[in-house]
Amino acid sequence: MSVNSYLYNKKSKKELEKDLAKEDFPRITISFYKYIQLSNLNELRDIFYQDFINLNILGRVYIANEGINAQISIPKHNYNNLLNYLNSHKTLNGTNVKQAIEDGLSFYKLVIKVKKEIVAFGLDQKNFDMKKVGKHLDPLEFNKQLSNPDSVVVDIRNHYESEVGRFKNALVPDVERSQDLLKEIKTMLKGKEDSKILLYCTGGIRCEKASSFLIKNKFTDVNQLSGGVINYAHEVKKNNLESEFIGKNFVFDARMGEKVTKEIISNCHQCGTKSDSHTNCANDLCHLLFIQCERCEDKYKGCCCSECLEYKNLNQEQKEKRKNQFLDFNKNRLMGKIKPKLYKINKSN
């Protein structure tokens, strides 16, 4: 490693965004994962960081004893170099790389973290056997099985993801955290242990582990959409198939979502009009994830409620005085929720 090398970001968000704006080449957003036993995680993390920086990669990468999970942005001219790098790596060769449905400025820095899990389901590893996972179905076969009256299709994502896009007739867990997903799904599927279960998620990584969990819990016919919604959308377009997925595919980066079909199946959380645009509340003490239409974005300056707008408009001295009061209000209002329930907003305005 060279003397000038570094293993973490040293710049502010503003500096990073300025650097990104100066780039005169296109970027593509890609994702990949692999369940494989890894060791020496801290050393591996540092190696990946240096190698990815050399390829001018931005994004988020998690590594754990169970494998790797990456969502990254890479210069288009370095894409093949990354594929060669992965295939030359003794643990990552053969990794399936998926390109995003829609490109855009997805990340502004590189973060690589050592985690307990690459998917945070929060259950002991005894609940999984990653050598026994659900059968992979390509998009054509998945579509075929959707029409099977004995099939049960299950969304392995959080509610705010399925709210803007999902497969028709899918069971959608009303949970806000990955840690609650598998318990909720097991409850929803009680009595359906011998049914044909069809799982789907964004890119496949959650289905892989969820299918193993269901098999451990005596489900006999567990299947998963190969490559997730990302691969499904590409194949539908490529092969002129009918899309049984409607709406937008939520993504965990600055884009917030990718259009799969033209339908808008969700509503603005403030006025109730059709909208599928997720945003984070512009109040720095809130940052609630919610859906906001253009009209409400303009009206409330990107804030999720009148209290947040009021606090955002205070000067710095006023903010400091009212900070604790606002934090107490926000804690009681949200109670850990990601989706807002009732806002104190006069909708007639």
What residues act catalytically?
201
8 A C-beta contact, residue 260 and residue 238? no
**Distances from the Cα of 23 to the Cα of 56, 105, 122, angstroms:** 11, 11, 39
Q: How many contiguous H segments (helices) and E segments (strands) does the chain have? A: 11, 14
8 A C-beta contact, residue 133 and residue 67? no
For residue 244, the one-letter residue type is E
Which SS3 state, helix, strand or coil, does residue 64 take?
strand
DSSP 4: T
Handedness of CA 36, 196, 260, 294 (dihedral sign): negative
Which SS3 state, helix, strand or coil, does residue 51 take?
helix
For residue 4, the one-letter residue type is N
* ∠ Cα 107 286 250 (to 5°): 40
